[in-house]
Structure 1
Amino acid sequence: MDILADIMLGIGAIGAAIYCMVLSRRLRRFNNLQNGMGGAVAVLSAQVDDMTTMLNSARDAAGESADILTNLTERAEASAQKLELMMASLHDLPDSTQGQTQGTHQPEVRQTPSPPQSTSQDAPTPPVFVSHRMMKAAE
């Protein structure tokens, strides 16, 4: 019985040794920097570092752009307030046409020069339509 136990123990030790050699070879191929997963892990690690630096630079650029946009928005709002104030002050000015035509209420009519007439009788000139609009302040 002792001999049988020793033989089984020896077979188990030889099997474990073979198993360890197979695992060693697989691990060596796995960690190979040129063809195995070790190379892929090294490449991915380098890419993660590059992406981290790019992310930080993009974050800084976005922060600067946000600051510039905030500044421009504040300037635009200040300009809009000034324009609103100017428009409101225009309503306080007297109407310039009232001072010129105090006695008459007829609008001023401008004479537009007629287009030159062509000497050719074959092609009549199309009429020119001119629109005169009076500008009124919007309330």
Structure 2
Amino acid sequence: MALISDVLLIAGALGAAFYCYILSRRLNRFTNLEKGVGGAVAVLSVQVDEMTKALEGARAMSQNSADSLEALTKRAETAAGRIELILASLHDLPEPAPPCADPLQERRVRRTRRPVVAEDRL
């Protein structure tokens, strides 16, 4: 009986050793930096860093755009106030003179004759 239990114990130990060997190979392939999950994590880490830099650049550009847009809006509001003031002051001007009573007088066209040159007769 002791012999059978020893054989079974050795067989179990060999099975466990073989299982550990297979598991360690799979784990090495899994954590390989070039092909496995480790490589994917490294690539994703680099991409996250690049995206963070791009986001910071976009944030700075949008802040600059917002500042310039705010300055332009203030200038436009100031100009609109000036235009309103000018329009309000135009109401104080006297009425323009009425147009001429004879509309044909404004439309008269002065016609002159061109001198006749000898070359034109040919």
Q: CA RMSD in A?
A: 2.7
Secondary structure of 2:32's match?
Answer: coil
- In structure 2, stretches of 5+ residues that fail to align are 112-122
How many residues get paired? 111
Q: Which residue in the other structure is 2:120 paired with?
A: none
Task: Report the TM-score, using the length of structure 1 for normalisation.
Answer: 0.66
Secondary structure of 1:35's match?
Answer: coil
- In structure 1, stretches of 5+ residues that fail to align are 116-139
Distance, in Å, in 2 between the alignment partners of 1:114 and 1:26 is: 105
Q: Deviations over 1:64-104 (max 9, x none)?
A: 11111111111111111110111111011112326xx7xxx
Q: 1 or 2 for the larger relative contact order (CA 8 Å, sep ≥6)? A: 1
1:7 Cα deviation after fit: 3.3
Distance, in Å, in 2 between the alignment partners of 1:78 and 1:107 is: 45
- Percent sequence identity is 50
Task: Report the TM-score, using the length of structure 2 for normalisation.
Answer: 0.74
Secondary structure of 1:34's match?
Answer: coil
Distance, in Å, in 1 between the alignment partners of 2:62 and 2:82 is: 30
Equivalent position amino acid for 2:96 in 1: S
